[in-house]
Structure 1
């Protein structure tokens, strides 16, 4: 079997497309790269969903923690404390045990039957845990940046007649993002790395449609050689990290585009005569 045929058969296997049966013998390097890369789709899914939704929830938590009313501040503080204070690995197991205890027939609310069997699937339950976890960490980052917003900027906004949502949207929030973005970039990288823990959690992989670590372990168990599949999985995550650094770097330059001397272009001027 050629490598192109292997890619066609197993490239989207983690999504349920292509060959159903896993290779049984004579494992090639192309099969390693193809199947582990196919599983990486699920890691991307978990990371993107948690990061996209967690960004907005973290912003709300940071604003709530920095606000004056105790009824709004205390729940945000306890949420951040609980999810930052407990290991992510334990959060996976607690969430799975809690979701699996929901009535299998569903929950009836107002005469409407809401199914609950889908909550124990990895695509829903594991994504929920990662979303809550990254929201807590990002909220603490945003909270620190929100407290570091220069008072002069806020006073200038007051002088212009800004208040409430307008003041936050045009002054406080952009400044908060500029201050928090380097630390938030690290949180995004850690989040995508943390998606590998889904494999060890209680959330099952439906019909062997696992993530990158699922297929890496499959090859390691079959060949008794972990020094090929696991470095390949690490190689994929290194590429993913480089992509994240590049993407978040572009956003960082966009956020700081108005600052003088922010990220000047590299100019190569060879010195011919000294």
Structure 2
């Protein structure tokens, strides 16, 4: 089988298109690159949807925590504390068994026992908590002069928030939020190693890398391939968020603009 035939057979296998059976012997480098790359579809799916949906909840949490009213502030503080204070791996396990228990009583929860929905919910809530804390810190850092200038122009309420507070908050938070986005994509590798099962051996990139490492007893080929894919994904995230950062800081002098820098988090 040529490499092009391998790509045609296994390139979309992780989403159920192509060969049903995984190779069991005589593993080639092309097979490993193709199947691990196929699994990256799931990592991109989880990371992108969780990031997009979590962005809006994170803004709401930041505003609620910034509020003077305890009925808004306290729930936001506890939500952020719980999801930042517990390991993501444990959150996956807890959510899976919770959804499994609810499924037995309410069939409505049945889709949440699958990774495509249940794991996405966990990642959505987790990144919203971390991002909410980042945005709250940015809200606290908005220069008072910006608010006073808006007041001097007669801006109050929603116009002041939309034109002054929210853009300034995003500009201040964006470098840290970029690192959160990178970490989120890396965290997607935990999905199929947690409670959520991979049906019909359709898993993410780490699932296939682990499969080849177990079959060949050689982890020095599949895991570096996996790392290479994630490095490319990280570069893509940095590039995209860097463009957004330039847009947010377009009104500032060149020397005053904050650049996006990769700051790996050894411990979260």
TM-score (norm 1): 0.91
Q: 1:131 maps to what in 2? A: 124
Q: 2:242 maps to what in 1? A: 249
- Distance in 2 between the 1:201 and 1:18 partners? 26
- Asked if structure 1 preserves the Cα contact closer than 8 Å seen for 2:39 and 2:203, the reply is yes
- Distance in 2 between the 1:24 and 1:89 partners? 30
Q: 2:99 maps to what in 1? A: 99
- Distance in 1 between the 2:206 and 2:215 partners? 14
- Distance in 2 between the 1:209 and 1:103 partners? 22
Q: Secondary structure at the match of 2:254?
A: coil
Tell me how far 1:103 sits from its aligned partner. Answer: 3.7
- Distance in 1 between the 2:7 and 2:206 partners? 18
- Distance in 2 between the 1:244 and 1:72 partners? 33
Aligned partner (choices 181, 205, 220) of residue 227 of structure 1: 220
Map 1:114-193 onto structure 2 (within 5 A): 115-193=108-186
Q: Secondary structure at the match of 2:53?
A: helix
Tell me how far 1:199 sits from its aligned partner. Answer: 2.0
In the alignment, structure 1 segments of 5+ residues that lack a partner are: 108-114, 265-274
* Count of residues paired in the alignment: 257
- Distance in 2 between the 1:150 and 1:105 partners? 52
Tell me how far 1:105 sits from its aligned partner. Answer: 6.1
- Distance in 2 between the 1:71 and 1:215 partners? 46
Q: 2:51 maps to what in 1? A: 51
In the alignment, structure 2 segments of 5+ residues that lack a partner are: 258-268
- Distance in 2 between the 1:103 and 1:172 partners? 43
Q: 2:262 maps to what in 1? A: none
What is the root-mean-square deviation of aligned Cα atoms in Å? 1.3
Map 1:186-201 onto structure 2 (within 5 A): 186-201=179-194
Bigger radius of gyration among the two: 1
Q: 1:73 maps to what in 2? A: 73
Tell me how far 1:104 sits from its aligned partner. Answer: 3.2
Segments ≥4 residues shifted beyond 4 Å: none
Q: Note if 1:17 corresponds to 2:17.
A: yes
- Asked if structure 2 preserves the Cα contact closer than 8 Å seen for 1:256 and 1:262, the reply is no
